[in-house]
Amino acid sequence: MPLRFNSLLAQAGIASREVRLLRHQDSHSLKGRTPYELWRDNRPAFEFYQDGQSIGNRMKLTAPFWASFVVTPAGETMLAGFYACRYVGTNEMVRQWPHAVGFDEVGAADVYELTLDARLSDLAGRLIIEWGKGGRAWIQRADNQDKEVLEIRQAFREPEFPGFAKFISSLLQIEGLPSTWAATLGASRGIYLLTCPKTREQYIGSATGADGFHGRWMSYRDGHGGNEGLKSRDPSDYQVSILEVAGSAATTQDVLDMEALWKRKLQSREMGLNKN
């Protein structure tokens, strides 16, 4: 039988009915400022991020304890901390968001006092659970959702690179990828696919430079990466994936020929964003 999160709570003497499960994954996060990256790189900013919540979620969040999880670059749901929770009231000062451009006006957000509970502190950064299909339901009751424990690692580590064929990311997340992923992508060249979540259109590009896929994708920080087809459009957080990796002996012209073939296969000139 698989290990369940509620069994860990019971072993620690914690009633599951008193626990709310929070899964932090914020689509409005700036580059390098996702909840996972805040937890990894700037713990005070992460704590500030989660102790201010929408007033509309007050009833869902009312509980003595929060088990807070963050989504890793590999899509894993990892325990960030187990907290004793006390509702304080609405914010008495403007709260600047630590993850995005914006703020909560006075009285526009609920504020909670969160204190790390030592009973599960050793599992933070190590415990991976299966959240299930309800990714949008980021607040859940532990007693109604007994999550399966997928792994308890010996120590916190960055998730392993999933492989070129399985790699999928948004361009906004490229800057915050684990260093080992960035190194792997930077050492490889080939053909990639961008898809626009707004229009469902696609763009096929090639990475031929010394910094490989990672260097090419980082050039899209200006919104278009020098591409004429993308310059003519409103900025979008494109999803990026890899279609083909070039061999170590491939020349720049070989990669460009691969790119042209993929454009013909997917008809990205006729039905996409490629202009050449």
Could you read off the pLDDT of 179-233 as tens digits, one per residue?
889 999 999 999 999 988 888 888 999 999 889 999 999 888 765 556 665 655 6
Residue 131: predicted pLDDT: 95
Residue 111: predicted pLDDT: 96
Residue 197: predicted pLDDT: 80
What is the reported pTM?
A: 0.68
Q: Which residues contact 195 (CB under 8 A, 6 or more apart)?
A: 201, 202, 203, 238, 239, 241
Residue 231: predicted pLDDT: 58
Q: Which strands, in side-by-side order, build the sheet including 190-195?
A: 168-170, 239-245, 190-195, 202-207
Distance CA 108, CA 91 (A): 7
* Of 44, 197, 172, 182, residue with least CA distance to 100: 172
Residue 176: predicted pLDDT: 80
Q: Which residues of the chain have pLDDT under 50?
A: none
Q: Are 190 and 246 in contact (CB under 8 A)?
A: yes
Could you read off the pLDDT of 29-55 as tens digits, one per residue?
887 789 998 999 889 999 999 999 999
